[in-house]
Structure 1
Amino acid sequence: MKYIIAIIGLLVVLGLAYVASNNRKNIKVKPIILMVIIQIILASLLLNTKFGLVVIKGFADVFSKILEYAGSGVSFVFGGLANKGEMSFFLNVLLPIIFISVLIGIFQYLKILPLIMKGIGLLLSKVNGMGKLESYNAVASAMVGQSEVFITVKKQLSKLPPNRLYTLCASAMSTVSMSIVGAYMTMIQPRYVVTALVINLFGGFIISSIINPYTVKEEEDILIIRDEEKHSFFEMLGEYILDGFKVAIIVGAMLIGFVALMAGINDVFHIIFHISFQDILGYIFAPFAIIMGVPVSEAVQAGGIMATKLVTNEFVAMMDLTKIQGHFSPRTLGIISVFLVSFANFSSIGIIAGAVKALNEKQGNTVAKFGLKLLYGATLVSVLSAVIVSIVL
């Protein structure tokens, strides 16, 4: 039965992408089928084999150690601030982002990260039928973040037509930055974080190649990556420390605002309609939860979590999931966890449009115009990844 539901889910997701396509005649079917098969194979390897267990355990152990090191710095500055025995979300989940940002900076400085991004990007371009720039950008988004990635391709930004610009922005919204992966792992199981990171990469290409299909000419497919201005090692450290701190503060501020707003809206809806706003959203999103493989009995609650991610952000949704995870079966928990690991939410439209506008005002305005279509596509990527995982769980 789960395979029938998964096939229906795949057809619905691809059908919804097809409906929004701006050039249906140019859709290339073979790369799409190939990438769906690759997603299924990778999800199965990561979640159902000893090899996958070793990879995920290694990944989780590395981030566990990083969070431990980060905790030393946080404890030195803020030790004793949190109530004993209580976990402070800001101190234990957000502030470690600073140390992870430093590590990313060091790998960037040593030219290790750009080499990895170029290599994987070129390999992906052979599979997805898209340009080298698009493939590089998808990998780079996962490494350096959805706004910072555009700095690395600044030289080509002004020359990009709207269709190629859409694909770059869609990749940035469909993935998550390595700097906050550690934070996710404190809230949901690392195996689902790692799996989502890998299959979202292909999911972004699948949905973009349906919604926004095009062919890149060989002479236009030149990958020019902007090198960062050369700073001394310690200047670089200072810059990445501050960047990490800004991310932690911004996420913290958004959480305060969104969690408070959601609590207020829920109360108002309770008073007027005797049902919370999240429950209403849950009923709206329940059909999508069902095609993702969630049992009907759990679909409304799962739909509420999905909707929360869309209207607020993934952190708020993950926090809500940790509170009610006991109500879900392990399979449902895995499906919803994978769905949550992406930047597909309304606030990301402003973040990406602002990042591009800071580098090129005209292109930033172009991004703002197709902002809702970006969110539509990125949400379909999350649903697709969840459907793929439902096949192997």
Structure 2
Amino acid sequence: MLQLQSGFGVFALLMLAWAFGENRDRVSVRQVAIGLGITLLTAVAMLKLPGAAQAFGAINDAVGVISAASRAGTSFAFGYLGGAPAPFDIKAPGANFILAFQALPVVLVMSVLTTLLFYWRILPPVVRAMAWLLKRTLGVGGAVGLSTAANVFLGMVEAPLFIRPYLAQLTRSELFLVMTGGMAGIAGTVLVLYATLLAPVLPDAAAHFVIASVLGAPAAILVSLIMVPETEARATGGELADPGQIAVSSMDAIVKGTAAGLELLLNIIAMLIVLVALVYLGNAVLGLLPHVGGEAITLQRLLGYLMAPVCWLLGLPWDQAVTAGSLMGIKTVLNELIAYVELAKLPADALDPRSKLIMLYAMCGFANFGSLGIMLGGRTAMAPERREEIAALGLRSIVSGTLTTCLMGAVVGLIS
């Protein structure tokens, strides 16, 4: 029954995308059908095919090695604060875990590894292959195909750098697709961080984050083409030039990757402090209102009730939908990192394993108001002549990114 609920949710979410879209009469039913079919086939292939479990086991092992390497560095730099054995007895299990010193620094290691893989010309051919595949199957232009493929590995600001010379030439639909791709994915630099956070509560979390990153490409194209269908002739359909070298040597790549990772790490820590504080202040203000149901009104409760129907559409039982809805609300208003931290802290009986898996996919994207500011700043800097159009599509991109990740959650619920 829950699988049927998820199946209904898939079509309901697509109808929501259509309702929030423009030029509804120009939506190509054929393109939507192909996009949905490819999204479903990708999910089935990555989750159900024989041998997938072994491949994902290797991914988990790789993530474990990266996490251990990061822990070795933090232990050396920060001692027991960074994960080294404590010089005293730990009375409460987990009391010695410090997020800023033990989990978050993995962003530095991943930033360096990603930069090195691009400098060594390992990742660019993979990105180009995925762009070719998206172009041949879903019919998108070469530029947006490349940007969407790059979003599997990179963030919303870094991926469009591959097509920076083409941004001014993109149609409105293609521009929106690039924005949706950024909102509907996460950067490889934080993938390992999120997998590390959820590993204790969700087996094979790393593998599922990799699947979500890949699945986000066709799902983002599907949702964006429903919300803003193509109405113009494309000018960027041909093959694209290589983005060129990002460093002059391996050591230069390490230095640049470390600098970029440090900036990201400090931003994450600063945003965590500020956003958690703002949530506390918001709850303090709401706490002045009369209690409802014997409990104080909180931002999480309000968001939980608002997003609960959406989580029900994903295939969650109604008695778990409010809890999941609060996570979706935190993810949308604040960011996905705080939402994943809250998911990891939930009591064991708050969500069953299937619901936790669905929520991993449903929250696996940058679609939030903070990211909107980052996207608007980055996109307008790269294509200042499209500033007004980018700003006009901004709020809609949060909707499209959220619908895309929710669609992935519903698809996973359908086949789980």
Taking structure 1 as the reference length, the TM-score comes to 0.94
Q: Bigger shift: 259-268 or 235-244?
A: 259-268
Q: Bigger shift: 99-108 or 355-364?
A: 355-364
Number of residue-to-residue matches in the alignment: 393
C-alpha separation in 2, matches of 1:128 and 1:215: 16
CA contact (8 A) 2:81 2:96 kept: no
Is 1:178 the equivalent of 2:201? no
Identify if the C-alpha distance between structure 1 residues 220 and 37 changes in structure 2 by more than 3 Å, giving closer, same or farther: closer
Corresponding residue number in structure 1 for 2:115? 105
Q: Bigger shift: 325-334 or 283-292?
A: 325-334
C-alpha separation in 1, matches of 2:26 and 2:329: 32
Q: Secondary structure at the match of 1:142?
A: coil
Corresponding residue number in structure 1 for 2:351? 328
CA contact (8 A) 1:137 1:168 kept: yes
Identify if the C-alpha distance between structure 1 residues 135 and 325 changes in structure 2 by more than 3 Å, giving closer, same or farther: farther
Corresponding residue number in structure 1 for 2:41? 41
The amino acid across from 2:164 in the alignment is K
1:1-393 equivalences under 5 Å are: 1-81=1-81, 84=86, 86-188=96-198, 189-214=205-230, 217=233, 220-222=236-238, 223-228=240-245, 231-273=248-290, 274-326=296-348, 327-393=350-416
Q: Which 5+ residue runs of structure 2 have no aligned equivalent?
A: 87-94, 199-204, 291-295
Question: CA offsets, 1:239-260, max 9 Å, x none?
Answer: 1110011111111111111112
Alpha-carbon offset, residue 49 of structure 1: 4.6
CA contact (8 A) 1:155 1:226 kept: no
C-alpha separation in 2, matches of 1:284 and 1:224: 45
C-alpha separation in 1, matches of 2:397 and 2:13: 15
CA contact (8 A) 2:365 2:405 kept: yes
Alpha-carbon offset, residue 228 of structure 1: 3.8
CA contact (8 A) 2:70 2:106 kept: yes
Alpha-carbon offset, residue 365 of structure 1: 4.0
The amino acid across from 1:94 in the alignment is L
Question: CA offsets, 1:36-82, max 9 Å, x none?
Answer: 23333333343345422112211111111112112222222222335
Q: Bigger shift: 20-29 or 378-387?
A: 20-29
Identify if the C-alpha distance between structure 1 residues 335 and 230 changes in structure 2 by more than 3 Å, giving closer, same or farther: closer
Alpha-carbon offset, residue 332 of structure 1: 0.9
C-alpha separation in 1, matches of 2:246 and 2:39: 37
Q: Which has the higher helix share?
A: 1
CA contact (8 A) 1:336 1:386 kept: yes
Q: Secondary structure at the match of 1:271?
A: coil
CA contact (8 A) 1:152 1:227 kept: no
Between the two proteins, what is the percent identity of the paired residues?
A: 25
The amino acid across from 1:357 in the alignment is T
Identify if the C-alpha distance between structure 1 residues 385 and 63 changes in structure 2 by more than 3 Å, giving closer, same or farther: same
Q: Which 5+ residue runs of structure 1 have no aligned equivalent?
A: none
Q: Bigger shift: 313-322 or 28-37?
A: 28-37
Alpha-carbon offset, residue 11 of structure 1: 2.1
The amino acid across from 1:90 in the alignment is A
C-alpha separation in 1, matches of 2:400 and 2:337: 20
Alpha-carbon offset, residue 169 of structure 1: 1.3
C-alpha separation in 2, matches of 1:198 and 1:148: 17
Taking structure 2 as the reference length, the TM-score comes to 0.89
CA contact (8 A) 2:154 2:186 kept: no
Question: CA offsets, 1:337-372, max 9 Å, x none?
Answer: 111111111111111111122223233443222110
C-alpha separation in 2, matches of 1:230 and 1:242: 13
The amino acid across from 1:213 in the alignment is P
The amino acid across from 1:314 in the alignment is E
Q: Bigger shift: 29-38 or 224-233?
A: 224-233
The amino acid across from 1:267 in the alignment is A
Q: Bigger shift: 165-174 or 48-57?
A: 48-57
Q: Secondary structure at the match of 1:187?
A: helix
Q: Bigger shift: 234-243 or 299-308?
A: 234-243
Identify if the C-alpha distance between structure 1 residues 45 and 157 changes in structure 2 by more than 3 Å, giving closer, same or farther: closer
C-alpha separation in 2, matches of 1:257 and 1:267: 15
C-alpha separation in 2, matches of 1:310 and 1:109: 34
C-alpha separation in 2, matches of 1:360 and 1:321: 37
Q: Bigger shift: 118-127 or 358-367?
A: 358-367
Q: Secondary structure at the match of 2:81?
A: coil
CA contact (8 A) 1:354 1:364 kept: no
C-alpha separation in 2, matches of 1:319 and 1:271: 27
Alpha-carbon offset, residue 3 of structure 1: 3.8
C-alpha separation in 1, matches of 2:225 and 2:391: 20
Aligned alpha-carbon RMSD (Å)? 2.0
Alpha-carbon offset, residue 277 of structure 1: 1.5
